[in-house]
Amino acid sequence: MDQLTDVFTAISHPTRRAIIGQLAAGPARFTDIAKPFDTALNSVTKHLKLLERAGLIERKKLGREVLISFRAEPLRQVAGWVHEYERFWNTQLDQFEQHFKDKKRKEKKK
Amino acid sequence: MDQLTDVFTAISHPTRRAIIGQLAAGPARFTDIAKPFDTALNSVTKHLKLLERAGLIERKKLGREVLISFRAEPLRQVAGWVHEYERFWNTQLDQFEQHFKDKKRKEKKK
């Protein structure tokens, strides 16, 4: 699997996107990460593994505690990939706007 | 499942990203889409279903043929989501650059 696939897979689950949102506020311990989710700890562990494989989180030992922090760098690839298609939705929006402009013009003529 | 999840799931597979890349060049028939992939037609059908569920492709009847075309609009949500984290990788890069500037300065002092 390529890295882009790992990153897209990691962010494809709403719980993992919520974990990213949570960690964006600052590093947290495992128990704090798990707290907001009504899900088994085992399932949180699996979500964190997928985020770690994608390079989106890292674990750091701080004394006897392990702090988990967010790494945004892999999301740059996502931005790069989606940027390739930006011109398409801009074009499609332009066509959409044009459609309504044409419609207005026709209505005025009536 | 929310729509963002459908879109991320759709683009999380390299074959589906390749199909998007192919259709970005213009609409195509099913057989043309399947041709470059060394995979069962049944598997291509499944990939197209996931792309369709995410709103990334649409099928149009043109006489007796069905043409499949790319719809970029759902990718706008992906861009929006990733944009939220842009400041993080910019900050992290800044820290990275600062680290090397500091290193250079120290080396000059030696």
Per-residue tens of pLDDT for chain A, all 110 residues: 589 999 999 999 999 999 999 999 999 999 999 999 988 999 999 999 999 999 999 999 989 999 999 999 999 999 999 999 998 887 766 665 666 677 777 777 66
With 60 as the cut, is the pLDDT of residue B96 above it? no
| Cα gap A2→A102, rounded to integer Å | 45
Shortest CA distance from A73: residue in chain B: B89
Across the interface, whether the CB atoms of B14 and A20 are under 8 A apart is answered: no
Q: Which residues pair with A57 in a beta bridge?
A: A70
User: With contact defined as beta carbons under 8 Å apart, do A86 and B79 qualify?
Assistant: yes
Whether ipTM > 0.85 holds is no
Q: In this predicted structure, what is the pLDDT of residue A16?
A: 97
**pTM, rounded to two decimals:** 0.81
Closest residue to A89, CB basis, from B9, B20, B76: B76
Q: In this predicted structure, what is the pLDDT of residue B109?
A: 65
- Here the tokens at position A68 are 């988990």
Q: In this predicted structure, what is the pLDDT of residue A26?
A: 93
